[in-house]
Amino acid sequence: MEGMMKMGDVNHHRIKTNGIWMHVAEKGDEQGPLVLLLHGFPDTWFSWRHQIGHLASQGYHVLAPDLRGFGDSDSPPSPTAYTIFHIVADLLGLLHHFNHQQVFVVGHDWGATAAWHLSLFRPDKVKGMVAISEAGRAEKSFAKYDYLTVMKKFWMIEKVVSPPGMEFIDCLETPSVLPPWITEEELQVYADKFQESGFTGGLNYYRAMDLNWELQAPWQGSKVTVPSKLIIGDKDIGFGGTKEYVDGDVFKGLVPDIEVVILEGHHFIQQEKPKQVSDQIISFLEKLTAT
């Protein structure tokens, strides 16, 4: 697979931020512009294995953390510890630790939700934002992704001790054989990690959704003003609702400086079409860096 990164190709850190220990994969020139890569569910920093090296080779300082509840980062037991405010505060502590005042942020799935809200709450910290497979921000009206079937499967295996193995892929709308965008070796990386961590932390993001909507009430109708880009696959499970939403006046009013790119692919588009997604990210960052 083109651009595949080995686990040892990055520096690994475990830092204290916002009351938790967070694992961070790092690569690139520390003096270069910082790019923060935020994974989604059910994932870890490893979901960016194709993008990390490519961005670093272009002179960027790349950080790909395990968000709280995932991988080698702490996983608080209570769902109330997984509001978007906790997640954004984790990221601000991460920036402080690495002594960066501003960042380019790229997020997929829940990581994109975190990127939207970092941009919403602290636009002074964000030079540009790329959201992948998630167009929602602070508007409850856009809770259109139907994850219920997937969630039921994960709830059933949440307490399972043995690694989910192929069940992990089955939950992600894939056939009984591996899709071309992931190898058995890569799948085993996930299986081993989730055997250690379980799915409780990741599922707590969903358990905290109602609390999130309540706490975000003061931001309803507020705008994301930082330069933004949305990348989504035309076969993504939420593409229908997304297309209707991003073509509408509500979204354009909430995110006035937005570029939308639709690629041929599915939900895990940064792994399925790594070169295309990497090129889209780089072109966006280069445009902003040049201005």
Nearest to 108, CA basis, from 87, 131, 142: 131
Judged on CB neighbours under 10 Å (0-12, 13-18, 19+), 88 is buried
Q: Is 13 a catalytic residue?
A: no
List CB contacts of 94: < 8 A, sequence separation 6 or more: 15, 17, 22, 24, 36, 63, 65
Using alpha carbons, select from 4, 22, 64, 20 the residue that is nearest to residue 40.
Answer: 64
Phi/psi of residue 131, each to 5°? -105, 135
- Between the alpha carbon of residue 17 and those of residues 20, 21, 23, 44, 202, the distances in Å are 6, 6, 10, 18, 18
Catalytic residue among 39, 50, 117, 267: 267
Of the candidates 13, 170, 206, 234, the residue annotated as catalytic is 206
| 3-class secondary-structure state, position 228 | strand
Whether residue 109 lies in the annotated active site: yes
> Has 267 been annotated as catalytic?
yes
Which of these is catalytic: 43, 72, 90, 109? 109
Residues assigned a catalytic role: 109, 206, 267
